[in-house]
Amino acid sequence: AMVLAHEIGHAVARHNAEKITQQMTITMFRSALFLALGMDIAAGPLMLGLQLPYSRTCENEADTLGLQLMAKACFDPRSGPKAMSRLSSGHASAMPEFLSTHPSSATRVAKLEKQLPEALAVYEGGCHTAGRFFSSFSQF
Protein backbone atom coordinates (compact mmCIF):
# COMPACT_ATOMS: atom_id res chain seq x y z
CA ALA A 1 0.00 0.00 0.00
CA MET A 2 2.88 2.39 0.77
CA VAL A 3 4.44 2.13 -2.68
CA LEU A 4 1.13 2.76 -4.43
CA ALA A 5 0.24 5.60 -2.04
CA HIS A 6 3.70 7.11 -2.63
CA GLU A 7 3.12 7.10 -6.40
CA ILE A 8 -0.34 8.61 -5.93
CA GLY A 9 1.35 11.24 -3.77
CA HIS A 10 3.47 12.24 -6.78
CA ALA A 11 0.30 12.68 -8.84
CA VAL A 12 -1.53 14.62 -6.12
CA ALA A 13 1.44 16.97 -5.70
CA ARG A 14 1.69 17.39 -9.49
CA HIS A 15 5.41 16.64 -9.48
CA ASN A 16 5.44 15.88 -13.22
CA ALA A 17 4.11 19.35 -14.06
CA GLU A 18 6.59 20.95 -11.67
CA LYS A 19 9.49 19.03 -13.22
CA ILE A 20 8.46 20.04 -16.75
CA THR A 21 8.39 23.70 -15.70
CA GLN A 22 11.73 23.34 -13.93
CA GLN A 23 13.30 21.65 -16.95
CA MET A 24 12.07 24.39 -19.29
CA THR A 25 13.54 27.07 -17.00
CA ILE A 26 16.86 25.25 -16.73
CA THR A 27 17.02 24.79 -20.50
CA MET A 28 16.44 28.51 -21.09
CA PHE A 29 19.07 29.43 -18.49
CA ARG A 30 21.63 27.02 -19.95
CA SER A 31 20.92 28.27 -23.47
CA ALA A 32 21.40 31.90 -22.42
CA LEU A 33 24.70 31.02 -20.74
CA PHE A 34 25.81 29.07 -23.79
CA LEU A 35 25.02 32.00 -26.08
CA ALA A 36 26.85 34.42 -23.78
CA LEU A 37 29.91 32.27 -23.05
CA GLY A 38 30.07 29.89 -25.99
CA MET A 39 30.16 26.83 -23.73
CA ASP A 40 27.84 24.90 -21.45
CA ILE A 41 29.31 25.34 -18.00
CA ALA A 42 26.04 25.20 -16.08
CA ALA A 43 25.03 21.55 -16.53
CA GLY A 44 26.93 20.10 -13.57
CA PRO A 45 26.23 22.87 -11.07
CA LEU A 46 22.54 22.96 -11.98
CA MET A 47 22.26 19.20 -11.64
CA LEU A 48 23.97 19.12 -8.23
CA GLY A 49 22.56 22.36 -6.89
CA LEU A 50 19.01 22.34 -8.19
CA GLN A 51 17.74 19.24 -9.97
CA LEU A 52 18.92 16.50 -7.58
CA PRO A 53 17.93 18.29 -4.36
CA TYR A 54 14.54 19.11 -5.88
CA SER A 55 14.06 15.47 -6.90
CA ARG A 56 14.82 14.31 -3.35
CA THR A 57 12.37 16.91 -2.01
CA CYS A 58 9.67 15.53 -4.32
CA GLU A 59 10.39 12.00 -3.10
CA ASN A 60 10.10 13.08 0.54
CA GLU A 61 6.87 14.93 -0.21
CA ALA A 62 5.45 11.87 -1.98
CA ASP A 63 6.40 9.74 1.04
CA THR A 64 4.60 12.15 3.38
CA LEU A 65 1.50 12.29 1.20
CA GLY A 66 1.60 8.54 0.72
CA LEU A 67 1.66 7.89 4.45
CA GLN A 68 -1.36 10.17 4.94
CA LEU A 69 -3.21 8.57 2.00
CA MET A 70 -2.53 5.13 3.45
CA ALA A 71 -3.96 6.18 6.79
CA LYS A 72 -7.04 7.76 5.20
CA ALA A 73 -7.60 4.57 3.19
CA CYS A 74 -7.48 2.56 6.44
CA PHE A 75 -4.15 0.87 5.80
CA ASP A 76 -1.99 0.75 8.90
CA PRO A 77 0.60 3.51 8.40
CA ARG A 78 3.11 1.62 10.57
CA SER A 79 3.74 -0.56 7.53
CA GLY A 80 4.96 2.47 5.54
CA PRO A 81 8.46 2.75 7.02
CA LYS A 82 8.77 -1.05 6.98
CA ALA A 83 7.94 -1.12 3.26
CA MET A 84 10.52 1.55 2.48
CA SER A 85 13.21 -0.32 4.42
CA ARG A 86 12.35 -3.57 2.62
CA LEU A 87 12.69 -1.87 -0.76
CA SER A 88 16.33 -1.17 -0.05
CA SER A 89 17.27 -4.43 1.65
CA GLY A 90 20.16 -6.03 -0.18
CA HIS A 91 20.80 -2.90 -2.26
CA ALA A 92 23.51 -1.05 -0.39
CA SER A 93 24.25 2.10 -2.36
CA ALA A 94 27.81 3.28 -2.57
CA MET A 95 26.62 6.58 -4.06
CA PRO A 96 26.39 9.51 -1.66
CA GLU A 97 22.86 10.81 -1.15
CA PHE A 98 23.66 14.24 -2.60
CA LEU A 99 24.37 12.57 -5.98
CA SER A 100 21.12 10.60 -5.99
CA THR A 101 17.63 11.45 -7.25
CA HIS A 102 16.14 9.74 -4.18
CA PRO A 103 16.87 10.11 -0.47
CA SER A 104 18.67 7.18 1.10
CA SER A 105 16.42 4.53 2.56
CA ALA A 106 17.66 5.32 6.05
CA THR A 107 16.68 8.97 5.60
CA ARG A 108 13.28 8.04 4.22
CA VAL A 109 12.52 5.57 6.99
CA ALA A 110 13.59 8.07 9.68
CA LYS A 111 11.34 10.78 8.22
CA LEU A 112 8.40 8.41 7.89
CA GLU A 113 8.81 7.25 11.48
CA LYS A 114 8.71 10.89 12.64
CA GLN A 115 5.44 11.33 10.74
CA LEU A 116 3.82 8.20 12.16
CA PRO A 117 2.04 9.85 15.11
CA GLU A 118 0.09 12.16 12.80
CA ALA A 119 -0.72 9.36 10.37
CA LEU A 120 -1.75 7.05 13.21
CA ALA A 121 -4.14 9.73 14.49
CA VAL A 122 -5.81 9.80 11.07
CA TYR A 123 -5.84 6.02 10.89
CA GLU A 124 -7.20 5.46 14.39
CA GLY A 125 -9.64 8.36 14.14
CA GLY A 126 -11.43 7.14 11.07
CA CYS A 127 -10.72 3.47 10.62
CA HIS A 128 -11.78 1.71 13.82
CA THR A 129 -15.15 0.69 12.45
CA ALA A 130 -13.81 -0.12 9.02
CA GLY A 131 -10.77 -1.82 10.52
CA ARG A 132 -12.90 -4.21 12.55
CA PHE A 133 -14.98 -4.93 9.48
CA PHE A 134 -11.97 -5.64 7.25
CA SER A 135 -10.08 -7.60 9.90
CA SER A 136 -12.98 -10.04 10.08
CA PHE A 137 -11.97 -11.17 6.57
CA SER A 138 -8.48 -12.18 7.75
CA GLN A 139 -10.04 -15.23 9.40
CA PHE A 140 -10.72 -16.79 6.00
Q: Which residues are catalytic?
A: 7
Neighbouring CB atoms inside 10 A of 59's CB total: 20
Neighbouring CB atoms inside 10 A of 69's CB total: 22
Distance in angstroms (rounded) separating the CA atoms of residues 32 and 34 = 5
Residue type, 55: S
Indicate the helix (H) or strand (E) that contains 6: helix 2-12
Rg (CA), the chain: 19
